A and B are shown apart, each in its own frame.
Chain A
């Protein structure tokens, strides 16, 4: 090694990565503002902050994806300039993205080797042996010969981590790794990460789930609006304090659930079938009740919601809204019957981003006599009045109802959607992943509004992959797996029990 080590030798050994005064600006936005971050060997470092706080930008800078405008990155005592992830990996820094970058039809070993074959001829047997060895040394159980498409999400994630380890990475960045995992998979991941730590590696764990950060991490750095607002340890802090640091104001985690006696049955779903996605689904939601549907995404939840709204005609079964079968009705008729919908895909199934706020408010009620004349013209003045009122009531921050929805932030777009859907006192609310991608403040807002509907006597079907959300809001919980309802639980059931249902095991009879 040539000279040029600018740090004291003692510290540089324990500090594989030090970021000093990192600033990164995008046109008009300061994503990172003089951020200092130190990642030590043998620690799991939590990086928390709301959406847009600059966590990802900071880590992309460290991973060589963005050159910083100011500041320096010191890796093991030497200042480095990186212009690509390849260089970052060569320096021992690896990153696992939230969305995996794996070739489904390749085996685990082929995926791990891909990109670092090192020559024209790939010795797969040798690679498989090395990968198995690597897995053994960290206690990872992955079959190198298994095809990625046959692996569970948790196993796919391990392949991603192995990919980094195979390349000799000792600083591993994980971007929201638990977002896609079931509770048992999360537990396994945490065990894996702890073993990596014991072996002297450093892990940077990006998350907005504070409970996870507090239970897993050794040190925690909090970002807000591009700046470091605090560095702490789980011993020194609490969930409430972390949340306040993130948001800049106190956040209530325990919302007061309104005490509502569940009334008569509003929705009864009987052996609903739809292709291979829904297999004899039975459900019942009563007025003033929130039924949480827990499950890993892609197990039929989307189809269930879309069938209820009339967006996908079911192949069989009944969907009774206060005794009326909704099967075979149009979306317009079903909405007219008092069903509101918060879609998981805000942009693809909810808003029209290039349209104005008032035009978005009109969507779903454009055919009502209050808003369109018999001659077929829109009563624009009335729609604008409604939009103005709703935007005020739901605190959508916008200059006027005439701006395009695309100009709003994610949280405000969701508020706009809620405003549109919840006005008019629906009898049934189908809420699918209603807080996806929102920051803490907005999540709280959405939860309150859903609880308001319950208090009003609305029946709520809450579909969510976030267990925290399910627990926070639900009066009863069912789990869904591969198109089936696999169990029913009270909101007091421990997550492990739900985990069984979410991975296919039927709950023991009488669990509810």
Chain B
């Protein structure tokens, strides 16, 4: 019986690992076939990805730099998802977060760290404000958040263009680019390497691993705490899993979903920060895009769980880094790795679902066997 008592989580863990291995193998084989069709060796390409992501300290740092915004966008998607909503609008929410952060960076004159904190807060508030519109529309009118957030993404793109043309446009007539003023030093996020006094050989200036990465990890812990330890998180999960039961249990569905969506938007506000204050130091028309959409993949890969999201973000960070390597070393189009990324997300999602169903069925059998025939449980076929 002692062995049986351990089984549920051993089952779960082996199931997860087997599912992941199967998914990676499947994606690897199909991706490999595509690579082979281009006349390149799949193993060589995979070797390049791993090599470029892990060979040197600075490679790892680049992967973590890539992962930083993806952790935030994955968390943003996950928080909404756990409450039963699909936030497709992380993309637009972080654009608006970049606008509000730029406002704080350019127009406010604050001392040192305080300025930085205000810039970050403004980014979160901007994302939250942009998320508030679809959230209120959903709760008040029932407008589906997928539709409204997609529309809000379009509006956000135009809003950035308008802001750069008017409000934020640099006064420096020597600059022809459409961009904001350069941020003061107090509004720029220091690089971890500089803060720790690492040499430029170890970690060159082009690597933008900033303190936003540890902040992303803190956000993971905060989201974990929110979901599993607070009443709001509990009500949000109940709403996401069974809105009818949650409602009958006295949960105010609308209120909970509104709050969850606002938190999701605030997290989305962080997504553009590493680009904005950790890398370029101004808002230009060539700002980084698609981080919000990639966050959907990150959330799915990470099963909407904070730890899974960190791992998924790092994995996608590696694939992004691998693109550099593939471009340098092989003749393959860069898109090949985007295809690989898609394959991976798809097969992992499918594998998780298969594992979930198998595990549930097995657990039901064990529990029911014990509940119905306590003496005969051991004789049930394995």
Contacts and interface: CB of A to CB of B under 8 A. Distances in A.
A74 to B, nearest CB: 29
A343 B244 CA distance: 11
Interface size class of B (residues with CB under 8 A): 35 or more
Contact of A359 (B234, B244, B248): B234
A28 B381 CA distance: 6
Q: Is the interface of A mostly helix, strand, loop or mixed?
A: loop
Interface stretch (A264-272, A347-355, A456-464): A347-355
Nearest to A346: B245
B185 interface: no
B364 A376 contact: no
Contact of A363 (B5, B229, B246, B380): B246
B22 interface: no
Interface in B359-382: 360-373, 380-381
B252 interface: yes
Contact of B360 (A348, A363, A407): A407
Contact of A366 (B5, B235, B372, B381): B235
Interface stretch (A119-127, A130-138, A206-214, A330-338): A330-338
Contact of B249 (A29, A366, A398, A403): A366
A362 interface: yes
B230 interface: yes
A343 B248 contact: yes
B245 A352 contact: yes
Nearest to B363: A407
A87 interface: no
A366 B232 CA distance: 10
Residue of B229, B366, B371 ringed by the most chain A CB atoms within 10 A = B371
Contact of B248 (A309, A362, A378, A403): A309
Contact of A352 (B231, B238, B250, B366): B238
Nearest to A332: B250
> How many A residues are at the interface, by size bracket?
35 or more
Contacts of A404: 360, 363
B250 A377 contact: no
B18 interface: no
B371 A397 contact: yes
B234 A378 contact: yes
Contacts of A406: 360, 363-364
A389 B364 CA distance: 23
Given A352-B238, A399-B5, A331 B248 contact: yes
Contacts of B237: 352, 355
Interface in B221-268: 229-232, 234-235, 237-238, 241-242, 244-252
20 contacts: A28-B381, A29-B365, A225-B372, A331-B251, A345-B244, A349-B245, A349-B247, A352-B245, A352-B246, A362-B234, A363-B246, A366-B249, A376-B230, A397-B371, A398-B367, A398-B371, A403-B8, A407-B360, A408-B371, A412-B371
Interface of A: 25, 27-29, 225, 309, 311, 330-332, 335, 341, 343, 345, 347-355, 359, 362-364, 366-367, 372, 376-378, 380, 397-399, 403-404, 406-409, 412
Nearest 4 interchain pairs by C-beta: A332-B250, A363-B249, A397-B371, A28-B365
